[in-house]
Structure formats: structure tokens, C-alpha cells
Amino acid sequence: MCGNEALAEAAIIAGLDAYFGYPITPQNEIPAYMSRRMPEEGRVFVQSESELAAINMVFGASATGKRAMTSSSSPGISLMQEGLSYLAGAELPAVVVNVMRGGPGLGNIAPSQADYFQATRGGGHGDYRTITLAPASVQEMADCMPLAFDLADQYRMTVIVLADGILGQMMEPIVLDKKKRRKLPAKDWALTGATGREQNIVRSLWLGETALENHNYKLQAKYENIQKNEVLCEQYEVDDAEIVVVAYGIAARIVRPAVNKARQAGIKAGWIRPITLWPFPTEQISRAADQMRIFLTVEMSNGQMVEDVKLAVAGKAAVLLYGRPGGGVPTVDEILERIKQLTLPAKR
Amino acid sequence: MKTVFKRTPTLKDCPTHYCPGCGHGIAHRLVAEIIDELGIRSRTIGIAPVGCAVLAYDYLDVDMIEVPHGRPPAVATGMKRTNPDKIIFSYQGDGDLAAIGTAEIIHAAHRGEQITVIFINNAVFGMTGGQMAPTTVLGQVTATTPKGRNRTGEGYPLQISELLAALPGAIYLERCSLHNPAQISKTKKAIKHAFELQIEGAEGLALVEVLSPCPTYWRMTPVKAMEWIEKEMTKVFPLGRLKDVAGE
């Protein structure tokens, strides 16, 4: 299975009620798969007239308590930002998959990681966050879906799965199974028709003095809770390392062999791989920065996550970037060379 | 003493924020009465627009959502597809439906979504201060057409109902008005029919366009505003049933 299909099937297993989407490369396998499988399961598939409509269809389905998702790629995700802001304001759960491609503008259809800022800073207007998961394999494309739906329902907010064109297209064997699920709160806020209860209202408009300010404090408290409890991160050979490479998603896959080769060459290298990009593993990186001399972030962009690494390191160590923007994919040798340059200046 | 008129339960007992002479109050009451007459309150979900009617959920006692500007038909699609047993209606103004939301209404109709749309046409953007709407008539002075709407550069008034009539997925389209009691009664019948079609599971979208007064931004008295609908607006937006697939 390719990553896009693995993700789609995993979403169905996770109890997806409705998929809404608009075609865009490199994620077209998702709507194609959903258009076949969702009707087989007696569930909803709609090809929308635009990404704007798709995210609003998600908004509508989610407001009635259903599990809904959409998927797109970078330019389409930009169009959805209005909806993402409203979902945040209205506190509705949603899962949005971004199979990133090169930008800005129409860019190209090559893999990219240039939407990190957009995903982790909210993206639309207003003070809000979206939980952002960064899978790094086809197996993880599948594994992150039940987690994404559970997190969305638990916290009543959008979870973004931030993948890229390689993860979407590449094929790897995977195991699909029903993982243990979280205990989730009842959706007593959902619009199901006012039967034997007062009306439910889903809204993002808060007029009146301090009403919106208080709503924002409530959202902020939720975000702080997530920052405390939901960070996911993987690390390797960090304890004795003089250089730690920080990378996520497909870039982290390329970093692994580079770090192994550096170790073989006698360089004390390790890596940290954020799995949740928001909440960011600030503490893990900060702890590592107490002992480390150098952090190198490797990104398929001109450097976006590097800013979060710098905030976490807080001046305790040097933070450098190796970035390939516009659809460029770093090679193992390029990364190894950069590690050598930074750690063995005298020998060169 | 015999009770000849009372507030219908789905219309909340509270003052509205609408200006004196505004049509929204009448239209809200019609929707509430219809929901009660059809006995569908417990399975109805309403969608409020961005515009003067954004607070419709403060007046209509049904489950409701407030959504991004122009997107109610997309939100309604998401609701109806996942809840075919529920009755979904959107209540939209002319800025919402005829300007920023044209793509959403056309494609919801095009797909034949089984929803009920109440389209309030008052020829102006109300909430933002009386700017030109696509439905503003030629010569009409607004905050952004100080010399009156000119067809050169500003275009002709957009006739959304006629536009939608061309789509097979739109099964019922009627234009009504609130300018006198007889027309209000006709409007109620039309909106009721649009709900009944959905209840029966008729395969397509039903929309009722309602010409409605905005005395504040027409800069008229409420009485003059009603007269202006009859004399001027109906010339551009003729009243009547444009399409009723079930009845044809």
C-alpha cells in the first residue's frame, strides 16, 4: 500500500463517518480510495467543489457529532485556513491531512516541508493551535489516524497530519489493526436535534464585553494542557552526542543513516525526531541542550522548525540549519558532510 | 376570551437586535411557525449566516450553528449527508448567498443536496453598514455606490433564483416578498413547501427567495420601504414560482 492509501484505510478503521475532499497532487490516492471504500462501508464520500467547501462540509458533519476528515496538499490547505480558524473558535473536532508539496504559490508537486509554520502556528486568523502529527513511514501514516481522531474528539479541535509527497506516494508493507483507543467524553454539545433538551448552539462569535477574551482564555488553558500531556518524540544516541540532528517526517528517515554513518566515522552524533510538531518537544530538546554543543536541524524548507529548536535551546547551544526548499530532498551524504563540517573542522 | 394569535413555541420570547421595520423578524417568525406546524423541531438543525441574521439562534429555539460567510450550503451538505433523517435548513442573506457564497449555493444545488434554503434578499449588505450587494438594483444609492449603482463597472443586479433554475438539482425555487400581509402569507406557504419537500425526501435542493425591507440602509421609513419593494424591487426580481419539479 502507498502511504496515502494506508492513511485512508486506517481512517476508515478508526471510525471515519464522512470524507470530503477536492483533488490535488500528491494526495489523490486518498479521495480515490475513499470514493470506493466509504460507500462500501455505508459511509459518506463527497467530492467538493473546492477546498473551501470541503473544510466546511467537515465543519457541518463534525457539528452533528460525526467523525469527519478532509485531505489536501499545500495550496489546498491554504484555502482551508478560514475553516480551520472557525473550527478552532467553535471547538469542533476535525482531522485534516496535508500531503505537503513545494511552494509558495502553485509551486510544484515535489515533496516539501514548507508548511510547518502554517500547521503549527494555527494558520488562519486568531489565537489558536492545531495539534500537528508528523508520520515518518507508511506504517506511521496508518498509525497516526486513530490517534488523530481520538485527540480531535478529546480536545474538540483540529488535528493536522503533516505528511509530504514522498510519504504519500511510497509503498511499504504495513500492519493494520484496531489499536486500543482512548476513553472519550460524550459529545453532548453536538447538533442532533433538540429532543428532550434545550437547543445546542455551535458558534465562534462571542459579542459582549470580555466574552471573546474569556473564550480565548478557555482555549489557551486547553492548549497548555495539551502541551503538558501530548508531546510525542523519538530520540537516538543523544546522551553522549556532541551533535544532535533534529528532523521530522521523511527528513528524519534520511537523517537516520547519516547519523549512523557519522557514528561509524567516530563522530558522536545522535538525533531527535519530533512526532508532534505542536505540541513541540521543547523540554526534550532543552534537556539535551544542557549537554550538547551543536544542534543541526534538517528540513525540506528554508528553515521553519529551526525556530522552535532555537526557542527550546534558548541560547544554550549552537543551532544550525540544513534546509532544501522548493521540493528539494536532502541526501544522506549531504547531511553526513554537514555533520562532518560542523564537528571535525580541524581534520578537513 | 378566544385566543386568535399567539407566539409559536420555536420563536423565543425575547426582543431582537433588528432595526425597526426590518424583515428578518417576520421571516424568523414564519420559519418558527412552520417548524412547529410540521412538528419537526426535535429533528431540525438550522444554519445561521454571517450578516444581520448571524444571531438567528438567539431567536429560533432549534439546534443551530453559525458558520463562515457564504458557506452554509457546504456546511448543510456535511450535515445532511451524515444525517439523512434530520431536517437541515440554511438562512442566508444576499451578501452571504449571492456574493461570497455563490460557489457553495450553485454546487449544493448542482449536487441536488436535500436541504432547504431561505434566501433573504434586501438588496444591500446590512450588518456592515449598507454597502452594495450583488442584488442592489441599478441606481440604488449605497455606502459603496454613492452615485447609485451603475451597470458599467458594477454590473446588473444578480438574479440568483433564475440562475439556479437552470440546474436539475434545484427542484423548487420561488421568489416571495414580505411587503404586505398577502405576500407574507404566500411566503409562508412557499417556505413550508420547501420544508415539506425535504421531509418527503424529494431529491434536490429547495430555495425560497424572500424580498425583505431594510429601511435603515435604504434610508426610508418602514412604510416607504415596503412600498419600494412592491414598486421597484419586484421589477428586477419578479415574484412567483420559478420551478417546482414535484408540482409540474
Single-letter residue type at B25: G
CA distance A293 to A317: 5
Give the ranges where chain A is alpha helix by DSSP (H): 3-13, 29-40, 51-63, 74-79, 81-90, 116-120, 138-155, 165-169, 211-229, 249-264, 282-289, 305-313, 332-343
Q: How far is CA A158 from CA A143, A194, B226, in A?
A: 17, 26, 46
Kind and range of the H or E run holding B151:
helix B151-154
Q: Among A24, A49, A193, which Cα is nearest to B77's? A: A49
Task: Give the pLDDT of residue A336.
Answer: 98
Inter-chain contacts counted by CB atoms under 8 A, chains A and B? 130
Task: Give the pLDDT of residue B247.
Answer: 76
Q: Which domains does chain A have, with CATH numbers?
A: 3-229 (3.40.50.970), 233-341 (3.40.50.920)
Percentage of chain B beyond pLDDT 70 is 100
Mean pLDDT of B85-92: 98
CA distance A132 to A164: 13
Compute and round to an integer the Cα radius of gyration of chain A: 21
CA distance A137 to B46: 42
pLDDT, averaged across chain A: 96
The set of cell numbers assigned to A233 is: 518524540
Q: Which domains does chain B have, with CATH numbers?
A: 23-244 (3.40.50.970)
pLDDT tens per residue across span A84-112: 999 999 999 999 999 999 999 999 999 99
Task: Give the pLDDT of residue A31.
Answer: 98
User: Is pLDDT above 50 for A348?
Assistant: no
CA-CA-CA-CA dihedral for B17, B21, B22, B24, to nearest 10: 90
Task: Give the pLDDT of residue A344.
Answer: 75
User: Is pLDDT above 90 for B245?
Assistant: yes
CA distance B88 to B199: 10
CA distance B87 to B82: 12
Task: Give the pLDDT of residue B248.
Answer: 66
- Half-sphere exposure of residue B167: CA atoms within 13 angstroms, side-chain side: 23
Percentage of chain A beyond pLDDT 90 is 95
The residue among A41, A57, A62 with the most chain B CBs within 10 A of its CB, best to mutate, is A57
Q: Which pLDDT band holds residue A293 (cuts at 50, 70, 90)? A: confident
Contact: A60, B77; criterion CB under 8 Å: yes
Mean pLDDT of A315-342: 97
Single-letter residue type at A13: I
Mean pLDDT of B125-137: 96
Mean pLDDT of B15-31: 97
Q: In this structure, is the dihedral angle defined by the CA atoms of residues B170, B172, B175 and B176, taken in order, positive or negative? A: negative
**For B109, left (φ over 0), alpha (ψ -120 to 50), or beta?**
alpha
pLDDT tens per residue across span A142-161: 999 999 999 999 999 999 99
Mean pLDDT of A211-231: 98
User: Is pLDDT above 80 for B206?
Assistant: yes
CA distance B156 to B178: 23
CA distance A115 to chain B (A): 23
pLDDT tens per residue across span A164-202: 999 999 999 999 977 678 999 999 999 999 999 999 999
User: Is pLDDT above 50 for B50?
Assistant: yes
Helices and strands in chain A: count of H runs, count of E runs:
13, 13
pLDDT, averaged across chain B: 97
Whether B14 contacts chain A with CB within 8 A: no
Q: Which of residues 4-63 of A touch B (CB under 8 A)?
A: 17-18, 20, 44, 46, 48-50, 52-54, 56-63
Cis amide prior to B146 (ω within 30 degrees): no
CA-CA-CA-CA dihedral for B220, B224, B230, B236, to nearest 10: -20
